[in-house]
Amino acid sequence: MAEVFSGFVCGYAIALIATPAAALALVRARVESAALRRIFPPEAPLVTVSLFLHILWFFLFTAVGMLFGLALHGFERRHPAGGIGSPNALFTIVVLAITTIAILPPAVLLPRWRAPLIAGGTVFAVTFGWVMPYLAQIGPGQG
């Protein structure tokens, strides 16, 4: 199933993008947060924090990508119509809705994190909503 593999690849790409951004944000935020200083002490090097985050993001986003791949496979079998710049418009709309539901509450409640959350949500939505369906089309056994 090319859809699941494309979800894995897109999830890994998101993990590679998120790791340095999250590591820098955590290192900067631990200056003000006692809880973060206990989890990531000041003497912990940035490389160690990055490695921990990359392992976390790798498992999280590749699993999310594979679940989205299974969903895309189901959408392709039932509603294969394209639109809004995507080979499967309904799948892309679902990804946009899930991203909005996940990003909107923290973006509203945490004004300081609003711009990074919106940027991360946009990268997530574009990667899974548009790139993943096109990547699945060029997979083995497709077209």
Question: What predicted TM-score, i.e. pTM, was given to this entire model?
Answer: 0.86
pLDDT at 67: 97
Average pLDDT over residues 1-29: 90
Q: What is the mean pLDDT of the chain?
A: 90
Give the model confidence (pLDDT) of 44-99 as tens digits.
887 888 888 899 999 999 999 999 999 999 998 888 888 888 999 999 999 999 99
Q: What separation in angstroms does the CA of 123 have from each of 32, 34, 47, 57?
A: 27, 30, 24, 15
The pLDDT-based confidence of 142 (bands split at 50, 70, 90) is low
pLDDT of 34 > 90? The answer is no
pLDDT of 11 > 90? The answer is yes
pLDDT at 28: 81
pLDDT of 140 > 80? The answer is no
pLDDT of 110 > 60? The answer is yes
